[in-house]
Amino acid sequence: MEKNQLKRIVEALLFSSSDPLSPQKIRKATGESVKKIREVVLELQNDYMIRAHAFHIKEVATGYLLLTLPEYDSWISKLRSEKRRSRLSKATLETLAIVAYKQPIIRSEVEDIRGVNSDGIISQLIEKKLVTLSGRSETIGRPHYLRTTKQFLNYFGLKSLDDLPSIKEIEKMIRLRARENQINLFPSPKNSSERPSKKMSKEIQKNDKTE
């Protein structure tokens, strides 16, 4: 297949998919080699930058996504319908952050950090495929370890756990996700009870410094 034609096809596939497309999936659709597909994706990325397009291709854990640039979020949000995606509560995001930065971690350790029972929230995260059970601890009862998943990486636009940002950076990402869902995860200081616990923030910051 001629390269320009392949570029148009790859672009169309990325445009039509709301989920990440791996080079292997694109290969199945086009019959071209993974190497050639990667080359075409790089050319498309360069084309978008040179021509100052409003979108770009981002590689996440499970493939490529065609996304609009962040600077256009405010305009895009005005056209969003009232139907929203399932969103994560502040308590759920707090729990997810603990797992992300302390993994592998068992439920009781998560609860020690948060100071409250987290069974229901952890079950929700597992159901949403953001967290998974992975191996068992050698402690009494041999509880399961908790780890984040590839879906977690995709949700936050990360390629791997090596790209996991500092606590301040991930709070910025969570704010952006909240803006996309038109919710307020971080209310004004007047309502301090709604903010993430200081204990959780200190634990994550401590772990972030040691890695």
Q: What is the mean pLDDT of residues 125-144?
A: 91
Q: What is the pLDDT of residue 48?
A: 93
What are the tens digits of pLDDT across the range 81-112? 444 555 788 889 889 989 999 999 999 999 99
The whole model's pTM is what?
0.54
Give the pLDDT mean for 168-197: 51
Residue 187 has pLDDT above 50, yes or no: no
CATH for 90-210, options being 3.40.50.300, 1.10.10.10, 1.10.3720.10, 3.90.870.40: 1.10.10.10
The domain 3-71: what is its CATH number? 1.10.10.10
The answer, yes or no, to whether residue 186 has pLDDT greater than 50, is no
Q: Cβ(117)–Cβ(110) under 8 Å?
A: no
The share of the chain scoring above pLDDT 90, in percent, equals 42
For the segment 47-88, what is each residue's pLDDT rounded down to a tens digit?
999 999 999 999 998 899 999 898 888 787 777 644 455 578
Return the axis-axis angle of helices 23-30 and 3-16, rounded to nearest 10°: 120
For the chain, give every residue range classified as CATH 1.10.10.10: 3-71, 90-210
CB 16: neighbour CB atoms within 10 A? 9
CB-side neighbour CA atoms (13 Å) of 179: 15
Q: Which two structure tokens, joined as six digits, stand for 160?
A: 């791997």
